[in-house]
Copies of this chain bind each other. A is one copy, B any other.
């Protein structure tokens, strides 16, 4: 079978393989803990579950297709949320498209935007699915590397250096996956103006927007006026509401871009699952109380993780203040991939090799502090300390 080189050369992230191995270990009776996939420790709001239960028996709409762009009440709820939380003005009728997850929104945006050979500048380390989607659409990834020395902040100069005549989009993810960096507002503004001046689309992936610590909050470049529809905002309900399995995200863009992207949506998902859309409306209605409840817990875990990592000489973390991740450097000659597999085999804990986020990050691992219970998380920290130091971590347990 002859398949396109762009497909064959696309590398599957290692998470599935590690997850499968973890599942095997669990099946053997091992006491496994995942610090791997980005799944928060909480499930969706009880109000959402109640509303979905009710819809199951009372709302026959859930069984049929809805409008391609999303059910009107969800687009309306998103427009209100965007206005209030992000300062983004979006017409729910023409500028918001609900997708089965923000990951799919990114693919739809790339399919809508790219010609073969077009370039996309992305901050590195990058979210691996961004890399995959660009390549699978025939685009070329150009990395704008950030550095652990200044907390993985993205600078306009890095973006400029990664931009050529073929650049069709700049992708920023803040709070960042995998680094947890929340980009400086003034720098994001500069990058947005740079993109607009060159009529390059700025794709802002804000999946982790509600996870900012130390009082830091995410800035949405879609809120900057007069950028002439160059910003495409991607959002997700998955992390905010602990509903990754429900597949609800969205794209906000100019009217013309949305009109064209809707063709891709129609030829792909048709529409996002209706039962999930109905749940999402209710979840958005309780967003403030719901998100507040988790921030303190996540910030406390991050600080516990910092204490443990500080106690381990062979691991080095430049602490960041967003998302659910620590992007941790092992010794310069270490392989994050070998480390992840060895940690899994020796301690029954899953972490993600840094190479998944770009070739330059081979000696890093990503540790998620968002999943499992606090108890389990503390147990994980203990195992980390024992594995690396041969004894329990400072101040944990």
Q: Chain A interface (Cβ within 8 Å of chain B)?
A: 1-4, 7-8, 10, 12-13, 16, 19, 37, 39, 43-44, 49, 52-53, 56-57, 60-68, 100-101, 103-104, 107, 111-116, 129, 132-133, 136-138, 199, 201, 229, 242-247, 254, 256-257, 260, 262-264, 266-276
Contacts of A100 in B (CB 8 A): 100, 247, 269, 273
List 15 A–B pairs whose Cβ atoms lie within 8 Å, in order of A's numbering.
A1-B254, A3-B112, A3-B113, A3-B260, A4-B112, A4-B113, A10-B267, A52-B56, A63-B244, A63-B245, A101-B269, A129-B270, A245-B275, A247-B269, A247-B271
- This chain: copies in complex: 2
Contacts of A243 in B (CB 8 A): 63
Evaluate whether A39 and B16 lie within 8 angstroms (CB atoms) in the complex, with A129-B266, A269-B247 already known. no
Q: Do A269 and B111 touch across chains, with their CB atoms under 8 A apart?
A: no
Instruction: Give the CA-CA distance A21 to B199 in the complex, in Å.
Output: 35
Evaluate whether A104 and B67 lie within 8 angstroms (CB atoms) in the complex, with A52-B56, A138-B138 already known. no
Q: Do B64 and A39 touch across chains, with their CB atoms under 8 A apart?
A: yes
Contacts of A104 in B (CB 8 A): 268-270
Contacts of A245 in B (CB 8 A): 61-66, 271, 273-275
Instruction: Give the CA-CA distance A61 to B245 in the complex, in Å.
Output: 8
Evaluate whether A260 and B103 lie within 8 angstroms (CB atoms) in the complex, with A64-B244, A133-B268, A273-B246 already known. no
Instruction: Give the CA-CA distance A4 to B137 in the complex, in Å.
Output: 12
